Amino acid sequence: MQNASMSIQITIRNVPEEVRDELASRAALQHQSMQEYLRGELERIASRPSTETWLQTVRERKAAAGTRISAKKIVNARNADRK
């Protein structure tokens, strides 16, 4: 059994310089170190379902509801909202 407070290290190689610079800039704007900023971003990403998981959930809900709306009705509703 692994201790929940045990730190895990992740190394990412071959990060383009411009990407590193952008991330460093974002971290600085939030008064954080690069490590603090990236850890927070990783935690945020991990707290959300993946796109694939989210799509599967949507498909399951759609199938369970048993309803279908035509593309024409969707476009008409969108256009009505824009008036």
Give DSSP secondary structure letters for 35-75: HHHHHHHHHHHHHS--HHHHHHHHHHHHHHHT----HHHHH
Instruction: Report the pLDDT value the prediction gives residue 65, as an integer from 0 to 100.
Output: 87
Structure token digits, residue 53? 């998981």
What mean pLDDT is reported for the chain? 90
Domain ranges of the chain: 1-48, 50-83
The model's pLDDT over 24-62, given as tens digits with 9 standing for 90+, comes to 999 999 999 999 999 999 999 999 999 999 999 998 988
Q: By three-state DSSP, how is residue 56 classified?
A: helix
pLDDT reading at 63 higher than 90: no
